[in-house]
Structures are given as C-alpha cells and as structure tokens.
Amino acid sequence: MLMTEEMGFKVRSECRHNNGSAPSRWVETLLRPQGIPGTAAVNLKCIWHNLEYMECKWLAGKNARSDTNYTLFYWYEGLGNPEKCSNYSMHEGIFECIFNFTFPKVTNTYPTVSILIKDASKEIRPLCASKNPTTLVKPATPKAVALSKVNDEIRLEWSQPHTFPASCLYYEVEYHSGDKDTAQTIKVEYNHTSIPSVDPKTKYTFKVRAKPKPECYSSELFSDWSEEKSIGAKPDSTFYFVLIITVPLIIAISTIILLFYLKRLKILILPPIPDPREILKRMFGEQNEDSQGGVKEDAVNAYNRLIKEEEIHSLVLTETLESSYPENENR
C-alpha cells in the first residue's frame, strides 16, 4: 500500500462471549508517508482526447528541487501490471505525459484509472489519484466543414469522430453575418444542419465544435472550434482593381494641374523682380555701343570734310592759275 497522506489507526480488544468483561483501552498509532512534505506533485489534470489517448499535466511541489524528475504510472482494471508513461515532457515548469488509453469495444462504461506520480528519490512524496475517464472526455475538433447554398438557405456538413458511439455527441454551430458581435449559436444533434432564409447579398461565416452527450459521458469539455469557413457575397475584385488604378491616377493628374495653375497665379500675383546686375549690364552695354558708334561717325565725317576741303583747295588753285594767264599776255 502506497500512502500519500498521514494516516492514524486505533486498535482495542474485546471479549465477545463474556458480556461482563470490558473492552481494552485504545492503542493509537500513526503512519507517515515516505518523503519530505511539500514535494509531491500538485494540480494534476488529465484529459481523455477523442477516446484515444490520455494527457496528464501537473506542477512540481513547492518544496521539490528544481531537478526533480517525476514519473507517471497508470493502471486500470483489465491491465495486468501498472504501465509507465514514456511520452514525457516539461515546458515552462509544467510537466506533461501522454499515454494511449483505448478499448477494443466502444462502450458507455469505462474502468476507473489509477495514476501514481513519484520520483526515484525517497525525498519526494508520491501522488496517487483515481480518475473517472468519462468525466475527462474531450472530442476531436470537427474538420472538413463544407458549405453550400441552395435557394435561400445555407447547408453545412462536417466530419464526425469514428471513435465515439453513434448519437453520443452534439454540436454547436456559431455563425455571424459581417459583424462578429452579433454571432448566433445553434445546437445540432447530427453532423449537418441548414440555415434558412439567408440574404444572398450577405457574407456568412461559420465554425463548429462538439461536446459529449450527458447520457453517454459525464464530461463538460467541448472540443476546440473548427476553422472558420465563409460563404455568400464576395466583393467585386474587378471594381477594387479599377479603383486602385484610378484613384492614384486622378490624384496625380489633379496635382499636376494644380501645380500648373499655382505657378501661373504666383506669376500674376508676385511678378519676378528684375536683377539689378542685368539692368546695369544693359545700361553700360548700350552706352558703350553709342560711344563706339559716335566715334566711328566722327571719323567718317572728318574724312568727308577733308576730302571736300581738298576739292575746294584744288578748285581755288585752278581758278587762280587761269586768271593769271591773260594778265601776262596783256603785258
């Protein structure tokens, strides 16, 4: 017998055939479990996944060393000897071990599972626990959710686990149309259903989860939600493509036109200020040209005057010579 808690016993003797004799006094004794208090595993939680395997998790005792290596053993009626769990792991201080837990025939009655967690060291107190497996059942996540639309209703269908007896599961279907805050949930007995009177212009999104029926199992565990699937009106990709191309083009053209008119408006409101250096260059350039032109003109005029004076002098000289000849003849 393996003890995990301190136990007390009291014993006394009494003679059955002689009613006149008084019973002896009680003798009391205490039996203490092996190991240091506070070293046993704590917060043991197990889940029976889809009637296929058991997953158990626990934490180390508050007084256990950080290098404590816990080992899990399990046994149930029909299993010859206790089995050691070999699929062992630890993550962020949480110990976990997974072992197969199946039965050849699917039945509504299952044997109680006894679990022992201990360490090879005598300093670690063992933990013993008994689990009713029907309270630990968690179905697998529904898969292959198929949607189809017929007239004004949407039909759903999904896979059903083959490990469960027929009619031992029910399902919850959650759906919404656009706004997730207005989700609706319906309960379904089988692995298919339909939603009538839907809006053909609206997109609907669905997800499904399973739960064991209370008449088959005592578990309160739901499966995980299936992947969301949608059906219904979809946005026109062509419209969005044209919108994506058109909007930037319109913005670019509008920007160019606006910049062009802003530039013209700026010229009208704020005309450009002449550069004083250009004005000075123009002024001195014109004066230089005028002065050079005047010099050239004076030189030409002087040359013309010189020619005229030579002609005049030649004419005077000629006339003077002609007038002196007759006087000489008369003499």
pLDDT at residue number 19: 61
pLDDT band at 75 (very low <50, low <70, confident <90, very high): very high
Give the pLDDT of residue 46. 96
From residue 148, alpha-carbon distances to 141, 173, 177, 258, 309 in Å are 21, 15, 16, 52, 124
Domain residue spans in the chain?
7-137, 140-232
Q: What percent of the chain has pLDDT over 70?
A: 65
Q: Of the given ranges (18-32, 55-69, 307-321), which has the lowest mean pLDDT?
A: 307-321
Distance CA 204, CA 199 (A): 9
Predicted confidence (pLDDT) at residue 276 exceeds the cutoff of 80: no
Report, as an integer, the average pLDDT of 295-301.
53
Write the secondary structure of 26-45 as one string of H (helix), E (strand) and C (coil).
Answer: CEEEEECCCCECCCCCEEEE
| Spatial CA neighbour of 53 closest among 82, 86, 80 | 86
Burial class (CB in 10 A: 0-12, 13-18, 19+), 58: buried
Q: Is 331's pLDDT higher than 50?
A: no
According to CATH, what is the number of the domain 7-137? Answer: 2.60.40.10
Q: How far is CA 270 from CA 257, 258, 275, 279, in A?
A: 20, 17, 15, 20
CATH 2.60.40.10 is held by the domain 140-232: yes
CA R_g for the chain: 57
Q: How high is the pLDDT of residue 197?
A: 80
pLDDT, average across residues 271-295: 61
**pLDDT-derived band of residue 254, with 50, 70 and 90 as boundaries?**
confident
Query: Can you tell me the mean pLDDT for 143-148?
Result: 83
For the chain, what is the mean pLDDT? 77
Between 260 and 142, residue with greater pLDDT: 142
- pLDDT tens digit sequence for 154-196: 888 898 888 888 789 999 999 888 766 688 899 999 888 888 8
- Using DSSP, state whether 159 is helix, strand or coil: coil
User: Rounded to whole angstroms, how far apart are CA atoms 268 and 150?
Assistant: 69
Tell me what pLDDT residue 124 has: 87
pLDDT above 70 for 68: yes
Across the range 143-157, mean pLDDT stands at 84
CA gap 169, 212 in Å, rounded: 5
Q: Is the pLDDT of residue 203 over 70?
A: yes
The better pLDDT of the pair 153, 217 is held by 217
pLDDT exceeds 90 at position 138: yes
Domains 7-137 and 140-232 share a fold: yes
| pTM for this entry | 0.62
Q: Is the pLDDT of residue 118 over 60?
A: yes
Mean pLDDT of 38-67: 92
CA distances, 98 to each of 46, 47, 234 (Å): 9, 10, 44
Confidence of residue 266 (pLDDT cuts 50, 70, 90): low
Q: Residue 286 pLDDT > 80, yes or no?
A: no
